[in-house]
Amino acid sequence: MSKLLSILVAAVFAVSTGSAFAAAHMKAAAGDKKEEVKKEEMKTEVKKEMKDEKKEKAAMKKEAKKEKAAMKKEVTKEKADAKKEVKKEEKAEVKK
């Protein structure tokens, strides 16, 4: 009877120790997964920020291109107006 009791106590001790050991390792594994998830989330955030920056740069380039075209158009218009003024002055001199 005493051997049966000691085997029973040993079995209970082994089961409780084993379950505590397994639980400790499961928590550690869960923590590793959380860190991996956080890293992945950070990577996706960084990627989103990089995409946003690219979009901003593209928008700025597009805007600068539009401004440059508008300036060029304005300069061309001013040159045409200046030529018209010169022609008017030449006609006025010829009439005199």
Residue 54, pLDDT score:
94
Residue 11, pLDDT score:
86
Answer yes or no: pTM beyond 0.85.
no
Q: How far apart are CA 54 and CA 49, in angstroms?
A: 9
Residue 59, pLDDT score:
94
Q: Write the CA distances from 18 to 6, 14, 83, 93, integer angstroms.
A: 18, 6, 97, 112
Residue 64, pLDDT score:
94
Going from the first residue of the chain to its last (96 residues), give the mean pLDDT of each consecutive group of 10, the final group possibly shorter. 82 80 63 70 90 94 93 92 88 77
Residue 22, pLDDT score:
72
